[in-house]
């Protein structure tokens, strides 16, 4: 078993913590050898949920080994970044069979630290550690590939890119062996050292970044705290003009410590895998995404249908716990003048719906439309004290965006978990179907007159 890991029996999987960390699945060694083999190592936002899904919803890969597992080891980490880094270091050290056979070097990700001809380090991500980087091929660093360093393997490229992007706030670095003589975009964001950096300080920071990626965050923080104290003491001791410079350096290091602590503790980099998401219902996931403090048990979705304002209808469909409840559907024949004004029609539909508290108000309202439709819905629900607590969201299908009440920028639909994405589309499609069915009925009745 991996040193430092807590171990439980497979039957006690319910005792696992619901925190970020790394886990390992182990199986007994062949007869006569004794002990256990580490079969698989993984990371998770929620160790308990992730491990349970290996057994309850096994993938094709899981089915190759899951029956052999008898013990589970786990290690809680303080953050998702630490889990990502620890997973990479343990896979490299233990080479678990079902991590290794499932991915070759071309599929894993590595952080490369290379050097240009001025011996200035820069950082990039690669699939193959031995592959020469394009900048090196061009002669920027001849015959010096051996001096390049590779950290990994990392399983998820997206999580690794996010981690490096966030760590760059604490330790700005180059991503190429060449830099223009003027400041780049990253320079203005304080993520790049710029055209004329303090090379001694820059190289020290790269060494610290490398240590963090190797799982030695504590050592880096201690080193930074010592540097800050040294500058602070020097500033107190000095009596000449350099005094403020020492305090300024101490302040920079203090800010770097703060940035590093914030990044490590609060950054989310691990994506919820499909198997992890199975433990959460789509309506529960939606509630978290839109910052609803209670479960989204009842969701109402609205749409209007008309042709140049004629035979205009409004529809209200209802989902309870993520499923349709057609007994609660309502349809509205628009009473306003026959004008093609979808916003005004939506307003009328909502106003008439809010006059019926006996229908029981929903937790969430989904509107078909963009920012304008969202705003009219918010204004109308806030007009009554009983409906102020309803959360309003709207789907703009043309740009594939989801607008959320109290947020300035919309969320791209493609960034939502698949279960939530599917729920929103089902709601919208059902409201549209219901509205257009009633609209066609009114048109037919009008033609028969």
Which tens digit of pLDDT belongs to each residue from 53-78?
899 888 767 888 899 999 999 999 98
Is the link from the previous residue into 446 a cis peptide, with omega within 30 of 0?
A: no
Residue with the larger pLDDT of the pair 345 and 336: 345
What's the confidence (pLDDT) of residue 443? 63
Structure tokens that stand for 138 in this block: 């061009």
Residue in 191, 152, 199 with CA at minimum distance from that of residue 168: 191
State pLDDT tens for residues 208-263: 999 999 888 889 999 999 888 888 877 655 555 545 677 778 888 888 888 788 77
Q: Given pLDDT bands bounded at 50, 70 and 90, which one contains residue 12? A: very high
- Is 139 a residue whose pLDDT tops 60? no
E strand segments, 187-307 = 298-307
Structure tokens that stand for 150 in this block: 């590779």
Q: Given pLDDT bands bounded at 50, 70 and 90, which one contains residue 111? A: very high
Q: Given pLDDT bands bounded at 50, 70 and 90, which one contains residue 445? A: low
Who contacts 83 (Cβ-Cβ below 8 Å, separation ≥6)?
20, 21, 22, 43, 44, 77, 270
Phi, psi (deg, nearest 5) at residue 285 = -65, -40
State pLDDT tens for residues 269-309: 776 654 444 445 788 888 888 988 888 999 999 988 865 54
- Is 149 a residue whose pLDDT tops 70? yes
Structure tokens that stand for 90 in this block: 């343990």
Who contacts 167 (Cβ-Cβ below 8 Å, separation ≥6)?
81, 209, 212, 260, 263
R_g of the chain, CA atoms, integer Å: 29
Average pLDDT value over all residues in the chain: 83
CA dist., res. 378 & res. 392, Å (int): 6
Q: Given pLDDT bands bounded at 50, 70 and 90, which one contains residue 174? A: very high
- Is 151 a residue whose pLDDT tops 60? yes
- Does residue 94 contact residue 2 with C-beta atoms inside 8 Å? yes
Q: Given pLDDT bands bounded at 50, 70 and 90, which one contains residue 355? A: very high
What's the confidence (pLDDT) of residue 173? 94
Structure tokens that stand for 214 in this block: 């190797």
- Does residue 178 contact residue 281 with C-beta atoms inside 8 Å? no
CA dist., res. 22 & res. 4, Å (int): 11
Helix (H) / strand (E) containing 351: helix 342-353
Share of the chain above pLDDT 90, in %: 34
What does the pLDDT average to over 418-441?
Answer: 82
pTM of the model: 0.54
What's the confidence (pLDDT) of residue 106? 52
- Greatest CA separation found in the chain? 99
State pLDDT tens for residues 391-405: 999 999 878 899 999
- Is 131 a residue whose pLDDT tops 90? no
* Secondary structure (3-state) at 25: strand
Q: Report the 10 Å Cβ neighbour count for 157.
A: 13
Q: Report the 10 Å Cβ neighbour count for 245.
A: 13
- Does residue 365 contact residue 314 with C-beta atoms inside 8 Å? no
Helix (H) / strand (E) containing 284: helix 282-289
What's the confidence (pLDDT) of residue 357? 94
- Does residue 349 contact residue 365 with C-beta atoms inside 8 Å? no
Conformation bin of residue 99: beta by default, left when phi > 0, alpha when psi is -120 to 50: alpha
CA dist., res. 349 & res. 302, Å (int): 8
Conformation bin of residue 35: beta by default, left when phi > 0, alpha when psi is -120 to 50: left
What's the confidence (pLDDT) of residue 73? 95
Who contacts 351 (Cβ-Cβ below 8 Å, separation ≥6)?
380
Q: Given pLDDT bands bounded at 50, 70 and 90, which one contains residue 25? A: very high
């Amino acid at each position: 078993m991996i040193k430092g890991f807590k171990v439980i029996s497979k039957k006690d999987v319910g005792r696992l913590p619901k925190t970020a960390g790394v886990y390992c699945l182990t199986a007994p060694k062949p007869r006569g050898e004794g002990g256990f083999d580490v079969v698989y190592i993984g990371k998770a936002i929620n160790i308990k949920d992730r491990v349970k899904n290996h057994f309850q919803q096994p993938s094709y890969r899981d089915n190759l080994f899951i029956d052999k597992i008898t013990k589970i080891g786990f290690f809680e980490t303080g953050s998702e970044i630490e889990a990502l880094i620890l997973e990479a270091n343990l896979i490299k050290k233990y080479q678990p069979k079902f991590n290794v056979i499932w991915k070759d070097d071309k599929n894993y990700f590595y952080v490369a630290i290379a050097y240009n001809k001025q011996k200035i380090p820069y950082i990039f991500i690669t699939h193959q550690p031995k592959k020469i980087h394009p900048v090196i091929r061009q002669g920027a660093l001849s015959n010096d590939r051996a001096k390049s360093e590779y950290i990994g393997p990392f399983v998820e490229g997206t999580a690794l890119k996010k981690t490096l992007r966030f760590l760059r706030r604490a330790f700005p670095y180059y991503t190429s062996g060449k830099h223009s003589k003027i400041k780049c975009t990253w320079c203005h964001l304080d993520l790049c050292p710029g055209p004329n950096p303090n090379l001694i300080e820059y190289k020290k920071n790269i060494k610290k970044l490398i240590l963090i990626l190797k799982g030695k965050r504590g050592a880096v923080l201690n080193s930074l705290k010592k540097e800050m104290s040294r500058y602070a003491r020097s500033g107190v001791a000095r009596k000449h003009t350099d005094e403020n410079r020492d305090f300024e350096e101490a302040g920079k290091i203090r800010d770097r410590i703060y940035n590093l602590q914030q990044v490590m503790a609060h950054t989310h980099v691990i994506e919820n895998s499909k198997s992890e998401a199975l433990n959460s219902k789509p309506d529960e996931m939606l509630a978290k995404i839109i910052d609803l403090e209670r479960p989204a048990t009842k969701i109402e979705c609205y749409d209007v249908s008309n042709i140049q304002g004629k035979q205009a209808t409004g529809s209200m469909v209802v989902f309870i716990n993520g499923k349709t409840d057609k007994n609660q559907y309502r349809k509205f024949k628009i009473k306003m003048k026959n004008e093609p004004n979808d916003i005004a029609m939506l307003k009328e539909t909502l106003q008439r719906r809010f006059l019926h508290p006996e229908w029981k108000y929903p937790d969430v309202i989904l509107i078909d439309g963009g920012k304008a439709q969202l705003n009219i819905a918010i204004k109308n629900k806030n007009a009554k004290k009983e409906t102020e607590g309803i959360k309003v969201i709207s789907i703009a299908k043309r740009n594939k965006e989801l607008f959320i009440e109290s947020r300035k920028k919309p969320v791209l639909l493609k960034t939502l978990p698949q279960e939530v994405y599917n729920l929103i589309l089902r709601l919208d499609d059902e409201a549209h179907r219901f509205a257009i069915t009633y609209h066609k009925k009114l048109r037919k009745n009008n033609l028969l007159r």
